[in-house]
Amino acid sequence: MTTPTHPAARQPHLITLVSISATGALSMNIFLPSLPAMARDFGVEYGFMQLSVSAFLAVSAVLQLLCGPISDRFGRRPVVLGSFAIFLLATLGTLMARDPGWFMAFRLVQAVVTTGFVISRAVVRDMVPAEQAASMIGYVTMGMSLVPMIAPTLGGVLDETLGWRASFVAMGVAGLGVMALCSWDLNETARGGGVPLRQQIATYPVLARSQRFWGYALAATLSAGSFYAYLSGAPFVGQVVLHLSPAEVGYWFAGPSIGYALGNFLSARYSTRIGMNRMILAGALICSAFLLAALLVDLGGGLTPLVFFGAVGFMGLGNGMLLPNANAGMMSVRPELAGTASGLGGAMAVAGGAGLAALAGALLHDDTGAAPLLIIMAGSAMASILFILWVMIRERQVIRRG
């Protein structure tokens, strides 16, 4: 932060940027161990209540396309404060709702808080030159990665002691605290008129004609899709199939977060030495191998919490290696369109994840066991291998021609 691009105003502290993103992660994770109890309380099938994950992700995908240009035009501070105000009202709605339809409507409005994922990165780019931005964004991501480790455990304990609504009370308290912090510390960092949404959308066809962009984007989408399907189906598998309590499910949820943090470390340490494409391929192979092994164990009747959540932990490791490199690959296709590539690729990943999460919720029933979820996760991970191989073959063809 020693060389801000806009030094006139006091720059927000790092903890503020971490908190903005962390609240979005909290809203996605803390209530997951409560999904079966929520379905029973509202008298609906698990598949309907699972929409609070998949449909939430779908709304988030749309917001990723919109919030960046909107904040360019109107400023970072008003978008963040407005988003948190809407989030708090929606959270109050989820607590007061007694009808499953109204609950789901307010839950989808809560997705506005995920604008923090995009805005926090935009603030970093406003504050420091490009060569420092990647490092600072890494610090923000590291801080945020602690939330998925802690939130499900907290949510499971709250569910057992106070009921599922206690998790939504915790969301509201966190949102109110972060909004107060932003009101004090988040000065405006954007300058100028920014890039209008119409102009940004006009650049999408340029990327759409690039095979490399699609290869990287689809590899990231399918690999991340395995994780989003897991978020949707793991509470059901943990409680119905493996007979764990909500708190125990929350404890096991730390596995993929730990794996993802380790994968990020390996990516940062070795990507330059090994190469971006090879790191992506290695990550995809790790995800596929362990998920396929868990599926075979389940089909043989030997699935245990250690096997299921252990395989997911290695899936997190593979994602931690794959996703940073795939995102970098997307933005390297046309460097002058890096922002557009990042937004479009991110929206694809979240939208694809929402679809796989919805599919997992629809296929999981009391008599299916964990097999449908593991088939979706393993199949998605293996498909990501094909797309990074597609990129590698294409690059070799270009080199030969050149």
Best mean pLDDT range from 28-42, 97-111, 233-247: 97-111
Distances (CA, A) of 114 to 26, 64, 89, 90: 10, 8, 15, 13
**Mean pLDDT, residues 372-378 taken together:** 94
109-123, 154-168, 382-396: least confident range: 109-123
Q: Do the two domains 7-199 and 203-402 of this chain adopt the same fold?
A: yes
Q: How confident is the model at residue 1 (pLDDT cuts 50, 70, 90)?
A: very low
CA 126/CA 111 separation, integer angstroms: 24
For the beta carbon of residue 80, count every other beta carbon within 10 angstroms.
Answer: 26
CA atoms within 13 A on the CB side of 175: 30
Residue with tokens 């780019």: 125
What rounded mean pLDDT belongs to the chain? 82
Q: What is the pLDDT of residues 259-291, one digit of tens each?
A: 887 887 788 778 778 888 998 999 999 999 999
**pTM of the shown model:** 0.72
pLDDT of residue 3: 42
Domain map (residue ranges) of the chain: 7-199, 203-402
Instruction: List, for residues 180-227, the tens digit of each pLDDT value.
Output: 999 998 888 766 545 556 666 676 677 778 888 899 989 989 988 898
DSSP structure class, residue 30 = T
Q: How confident is the model at residue 132 (pLDDT cuts 50, 70, 90)?
A: low
How far apart are the C-alpha atoms of 33 and 55, rounded to whole Å? 18
Helices 211-236 and 35-42 cross at an angle (nearest 10°) of 70
| Region 203-402: CATH code | 1.20.1250.20
Write the pLDDT tens digit of every residue in 227-239.
888 888 888 888 8
Comparison of pLDDT for 75 and 173, the residue scoring more: 173
pLDDT band at 130 (very low <50, low <70, confident <90, very high): very low
> Given pLDDT bands bounded at 50, 70 and 90, which one contains residue 379?
very high
Mean pLDDT of 101-125: 85
Tokens at 235, concatenated: 């509470």
Residue 104 has pLDDT above 50, yes or no: yes
The CATH architecture to which 7-199 belongs is Up-down Bundle (1.20)
CB 230 within 8 A of CB 364: no
pLDDT score for 169: 96
Question: 394: Cβ–Cβ under 8 A, 6 or more apart, which residues?
Answer: 211, 212, 215
- Are 372 and 298 in contact by the 8 Å Cβ rule? The answer is no
- DSSP for 331-384, please give it: HHHSGGGHHHHHHHHHHHHHHHHHHHHHHHHHH--TTTTTHHHHHHHHHHHHHH
